Amino acid sequence: MLAGKNILLCVTGSIAAYKSAILVRLLVKQGANVKVIMTQAAQQFISPLTLSTLSKNPVLTQYADEKGNWNSHVELGLWAHVILVAPSSANTLAKMANGICDNLLTATYLSARCPVAVSPAMDLDMYQHPTTLNNLAKLRSYGNLVVPARFGELASGLVGEGRMAEPEEIIAFLEEEVFAPEQETLKGKTVLITAGPTMEPIDPVRYISNHSTGKMGFALAQQFLRFGAKVTLIKGPTTAQPTFNGNLNVIEVSTASEMFDAVTREFEGKDITVMAAAVADYTPAEVSGKKIKKDGHVLELQLVKTRDILAEIGRIKKTGQILVGFALETNDEEKHALEKLKKKNLDIIVLNSLRDSGAGFGHDTNQVTLLDNKGGKKQFELKNKTAVALDIVKAITEQL
Ligand code: CTP
């Protein structure tokens, strides 16, 4: 299962670093491509030469090597199918949980879009300390995976929880938690996602739009790709231009009308459609061919309703096609979301409330409730949008 996978192993300062040699050996034996990043502290426990020999790749320790060649953290992050931090010291866990970016490892972690797994290794009291527990909970809330530490004798001589999992256990964890779902669940499925705002022109220089950044739709596309689906992403104009690993077709549109045409054209035959775009509900009745001059105190702009894309595809959807919409509400949230679910003939509606801080437009986080057409309800805590996307993809997979 690991053959051909790009695994970025990050080794930090813990006595368990000696097990990294066995881990690299086993990964290479399975046919994985392994690159290793080591922190300064890790090099006091095991030599880079050992890991470069076993991985057949130079070990990376700095932003640039001694010849001045840059080790691009961005490229490393994009190369990796998984980042595995093993052993993960309390110090590195804390940095990752809090966005501290002071070495090649943490910079790569922040740049990466692939799954991340950490395998903690530390003394029992450090492992049980509230700050470590909080940091692990934060990492989980970002969608990162934690290989639980094991019970046993520790380097201090004390006995308790804190030993790094054995290399064989870590490999089994990668196979089950990272790569197995990707191979099975959505292979052969076709997915249509919309993301970002639309831009409704008023004249050649002005437009009406909204604060959507597209982040939620991009995170969904990334997760669907991870599970092996073939994704078509229809996106409105966004500042962020993400790059994706996998089978993705991107269609750029600008106005609600262009998005309507693209979605209705692409919808046929798609197994799953998720409308995450913030489509303008109204558009100027007429677009001035020339820049509108300012004369007079008041400028009246007549707006006409755009066509509801989601309602239209809900009307034409066939049995077996799954349709998911979003609802951003400020009051009577659940009631309004359920009305939209029914009115637009959806299978699932993703509700975010503007009353929850950290949810909705612009944030990297979101807090959602999923309501489905069988009366099901799943409420989630505030999470990074990658983790929210994973929850949504899992709920959709259950419906298939
Ligand atoms: N949507 C759409 N086409 C539109 C407007 C919205 O496809 N012209 C989709 C959005 O992508 C979202 C869902 O409909 O998935 C809900 O959008 P929202 O604007 O919240 O709902 P409306 O039905 O427009 O109701 P209201 O604006 O009155 O809350």
Q: What is the 3-state secondary structure (H, E, C) of the chain?
A: CCCCCEEEEEECCCHHHHHHHHHHHHHHHCCCEEEEEECCHHHHCCCHHHHHHHHCCCCECCCECCCCCECCHHHHHHHCCEEEEEEECHHHHHHHHHCCCCCHHHHHHHHCCCCEEEEECCCHHHHHCHHHHHHHHHHHHCCCEECCCEEEECCCCCEEEEECCCHHHHHHHHHHHHHHHHHHCCCCCEEEEEECECCEECCCCCEECCCCCCHHHHHHHHHHHHCCCEEEEEECCCCCCCCCCCCEEEEECCCHHHHHHHHHHHCCCCCEEEECCECCCEEECCCCCCCCCCCCCCCCCCEEECCCHHHHHHHHCCCCCEEEEEEEECCCHHHHHHHHHHHCCCCEEEEEECCCCCCCCCCCEECEEEEECCCCEEECCCEEHHHHHHHHHHHHHHHC
pLDDT (0 to 100) of residue 284: 98
User: Which atom of ligand 1 lies at the shortest distance from residue 343's CA?
Assistant: 23
Examine the pLDDT at 191 and tell me if it is beyond 90.
yes
Question: Is the CB of residue 234 below 6 angstroms from any atom belonging to ligand 1?
Answer: no
Same fold yes or no, 6-183 and 190-399: yes
Ligand 1 pocket residue status of 277, Cβ below 6 Å: yes
CA distance 95 to 103: 10
**Mean pLDDT of all residues in 371-392:** 90
120 pLDDT more than 60:
yes
* Alpha-carbon span 263 to 234, nearest angstrom: 7
Q: For residue 142, is pLDDT > 90? A: no
- Pairing type for strands 190-195 and 230-235 reads parallel
Specify whether the CB–CB gap between 38 and 20 falls below 8 A. no
* The residue type at 311: A
The structure's pTM equals 0.67
* Cβ atoms within 10 Å of 210's Cβ, excluding its own: 16
**279 Cβ below 6 A of ligand 1:** yes
The reported pLDDT for the residue numbered 181 is 60
Residue 180 has a pLDDT of: 75
Res. 258: pLDDT tops 60: yes
Q: Is the CB of 306 within 6 Å of ligand 1?
A: yes
Residue 279 Cα, ligand 1 centroid: separation in angstroms? 7
- Of 179-188, 246-255, 298-307, highest mean pLDDT: 298-307
DSSP β-ladder status, 368-372 and 377-379:
antiparallel
pLDDT of residue 143: 84
Give the Å distance between the CA of 277 and the centre of ligand 1. Answer: 9
Please give the distance, rounded to the nearest whole angstrom, from the Cα atom of residue 387 to the centre of ligand 1: 23
What's residue 73's pLDDT?
A: 87
> What separation, in Å, do the N-terminal and C-terminal C-alpha atoms of the chain show?
25
Copy the structure tokens of residue 329. 């509400």
Phi-psi region of 26 (alpha: psi -120 to 50; beta: other; left: phi over 0): alpha
Q: How far apart are CA 141 and CA 22, in angstroms?
A: 30
Residue 363's φ and ψ, nearest 5 degrees, are -75, 160
Q: What is the Å distance from ligand 1's center to 328 Cα?
A: 9
Under the banding of pLDDT at 50, 70 and 90, the label for residue 240 is: confident
- Specify whether the CB–CB gap between 101 and 107 falls below 8 A: yes
Give residue 301's Cα distance to chain centre: 39
**pLDDT for the residue 360:** 67
Fold of the CATH domain 6-183:
Rossmann fold (3.40.50)
Quick one: tokens of 144? 């990162």
Catalytic (active-site) positions: 210
For residue 54, what pLDDT is reported? 97
Alpha carbon distance 395, 277 (integer Å): 19
Residue type, 211: H
CB neighbour burial string for 84-113, b if at least 16 within 10 angstroms, e if fewer: bbbbbbbbbbebbbeeebebbbbbbbeebb
Q: Is the pLDDT of residue 364 over 80?
A: no
CATH assignment, 190-399: 3.40.50.10300
Residue ranges per structural domain of the chain: 6-183, 190-399
Question: Is a pLDDT exceeding 60 seen at residue 182?
Answer: no
User: Torsions phi, psi of 64, nearest 5?
Assistant: -140, 145
- Higher-pLDDT residue of 371, 185: 371
